[in-house]
Amino acid sequence: MFLILLIYCAVIALSSLMGGALPQLIRLTHNRMQVITSAVGGLMLGIALYHLLPHGVYELEDLDRGIWWMVMGLIATFFLLRMFHFHDHGVAEVDSDGYHLQHDCAHPPHDHDHDHDHDHDHDHDHDHDHDHDHDHDQRASLNPAITDECGKHTHRLSWLGIFVGLSIHSLIDGLALGASVQASAAHGYSSVGLYGLGTFLAIVLHKPLDAVSITSLMRTAGWSKPAQNLVNLAYALICPLGAILFVLGVSSVGGDQRVIMGCALSFSAGVFLSIALSDLLPELEFHTHDRGKLSAALLIGLALAYALIFIEPGHRQMVEAPDEEIVSPVDDSSAE
């Protein structure tokens, strides 16, 4: 069990490092980021509802209690997002007050107060131009060549709030991974040893999107590549640290560990649900382009999450089987 967890942690750290380095290697376009975000958001949504919540309810043996913990995870993530505003996948600018600016500095925010002083035809032309500028601004927010020109307006430490928020979120990801792996191992399902596979895939695919938010903002603020790489490395280690600490902590607790694992899994389901919805819901209002492509990506992510039910060892047995004796993943050497 610990071996597969260590492998998961290493892959997640590598994924985060690669994601944080992307702005230095390739040009990230708006469309690419949105398609990836939709697919990963669909996967996280499916993992929350198809995997984490059913596992949590099974461990707790109480549907109401599982739902309560899921709601607490959702609300906690909501307030975390509101406090740090860290969940913005792309190259964003931030002003000295910490507010995110998605416009190009060559195209400042347009004042709409004069609209009433013009005729209808001019308003129509203005709306068309504004839509064009809005599309340009979205491209500018993902184009390092444009954001570099505006870097002088970005506070040097504007990335710090996003780093703190994402670090807390990453610790919770580690908790979810550790709980998923330990819950699967505790039930002795070791057909191929892929404990917690669904949770692992959701984290490893979403982590680059988080890392790129930090490093791209540091790049916009004028930080050097070594500084970006150092912060990226620190962030990459947080999720593995959270997973290992959770497993070691739960293993050291005597008595029934199922309650702890059940609460952790249900809470993590709420966190994944909140993150997935914060990725997916803005598309309905702000991304009127490529609706078919984005919807298809969402459905592919959901389908992958559901397919993992038949791949992850013991998932269906864990949800459908009657109560059984739980083995300790620490004492049972065969679980590795």
Instruction: Please tell me the least confidently modeled range out of 12-21, 143-152, 322-331.
Output: 143-152
Phi, psi of 94 (to 5 degrees): -135, 135
Structure-block tokens of residue 224: 């050097």
Is position 114 within any domain? no
Is position 119 within any domain? no
Rg (CA), the chain: 22
Is position 334 within any domain? no
pLDDT of residue 139 exceeding 60, the answer is no
Phi, psi of 100 (to 5 degrees): -80, 135
**Local structure of 193: helix, strand or coil:** coil
Is position 125 within any domain? no
What percent of the chain is helix, strand and coil (3-state, nearest 5)?
75, 0, 25
Going by C-beta distance under 8 Å and a sequence separation of 6 or more, which residues neighbour residue 266?
Answer: 52, 53, 56, 57, 60, 65, 66, 67, 68, 69, 70, 73
Question: Average pLDDT of 297-322?
Answer: 77
Smallest Cα–Cα separation from 196: which of 14, 12, 60? 12
Structure-block tokens of residue 121: 């035809």
User: DSSP of 115-127, one letter per residue?
Assistant: GGGS-HHHHHHHH
Measured over the CA atoms of residue 278, residue 283, residue 287 and residue 293, the dihedral's sign is: positive
pLDDT of residue 138 exceeding 50, the answer is no
Smallest Cα–Cα separation from 318: which of 56, 47, 67, 48? 56
Is position 248 within any domain? yes
pTM, full prediction: 0.74
Q: Which residue has the higher pLDDT, 142 or 46?
A: 46
Residue 116's pLDDT band, with cuts at 50, 70 and 90, is very low
Distance CA 275, CA 263 (A): 18
Bridge partner list, 94: 100
Is position 329 within any domain? no
Say how many domains are in the chain.
1
Smallest Cα–Cα separation from 221: which of 91, 84, 102? 91
Instruction: Please tell me the least confidently modeled range out of 131-140, 156-165, 235-244, 290-299.
Output: 131-140
Going by C-beta distance under 8 Å and a sequence separation of 6 or more, which residues neighbour residue 287?
Answer: 34, 294
Distance CA 250, CA 268 (A): 16
Residue 329's pLDDT band, with cuts at 50, 70 and 90, is very low
The predicted structure's pLDDT at residue 132 = 47
Question: Average pLDDT of 311-328?
Answer: 54
Q: Per-residue pLDDT tens for 180-205?
A: 998 887 766 545 567 889 999 999 99
Q: Per-residue pLDDT tens for 58-74?
A: 999 999 999 999 999 99
Residue 54's pLDDT band, with cuts at 50, 70 and 90, is very high
The predicted structure's pLDDT at residue 140 = 41
Q: Per-residue pLDDT tens for 243-287?
A: 999 999 988 887 678 899 999 999 999 999 999 999 898 877 766
CA angle 310, 240, 213 (to 5 degrees): 95
Task: Give the range of the structural domain holding residue 181, as residue numbers without chain letter.
Answer: 2-106+132-319
- 46 burial class (0-12, 13-18, 19+ CB within 10 angstroms)? buried
Is position 327 within any domain? no
Is position 56 within any domain? yes
